[in-house]
Amino acid sequence: MNSEKYKLYVEIIKRCRDYTEFTNKTVSAAIGVDTRATSIYMREMESIGCVKTVGRRVIRGYLSPVYQFDDNAVTRLRNHFLTEAMSEAAMNIIASEKIPAPKIRKHPFEDGFGRSLITRIDAMLREVRCL
């Protein structure tokens, strides 16, 4: 999770904190984002633990989840962001500490054995085949 997503999630929590229950449509109206994008954000916030699904409501023939914020939503979000940021920093340190592998010659040919030599041999073989 990058800092822009973190700021977006905090903004969602700020603007919708007063609602006891809300749907994706409520959140999309509050922050001015498409309903599909809002549903993705809410699912991710639910996996983090910031939001709980209280029930489902039928909207336009589809069951839409009804959400409710957790009491410690911002704290959970911050902890999740910090643990992800720490793990990314640790991965960067591990990647920089890797020992470079020695270079191995990938072709068994000697220097001077290139395309020109191969085409010359091929031309000689072509002459022999034609006889």
Domain definitions of the chain by residue range: 3-94
CATH code linked to domain 3-94 = 1.10.10.10
Chain centroid, CA 38 distance in Å: 17
DSSP labels, 59-94 = ETTEEEEEEEE-TTHHHHHHHHHHHHHHHHHHHHHH
- CA neighbor of 44 nearest in space, from 67, 17, 60: 67
**pLDDT tens per residue across span 75-131:** 888 888 888 776 776 666 655 666 666 666 666 556 556 677 777 888 888 888 776
> For residue 122, what pLDDT is reported?
81
Q: What are phi and psi of 79, to 5 degrees?
A: -60, -40
**pTM, rounded to two decimals:** 0.61
Mean pLDDT of 59-68: 85
What is the tens place of the pLDDT at every residue in 36-60? 899 999 999 999 889 999 988 887 7
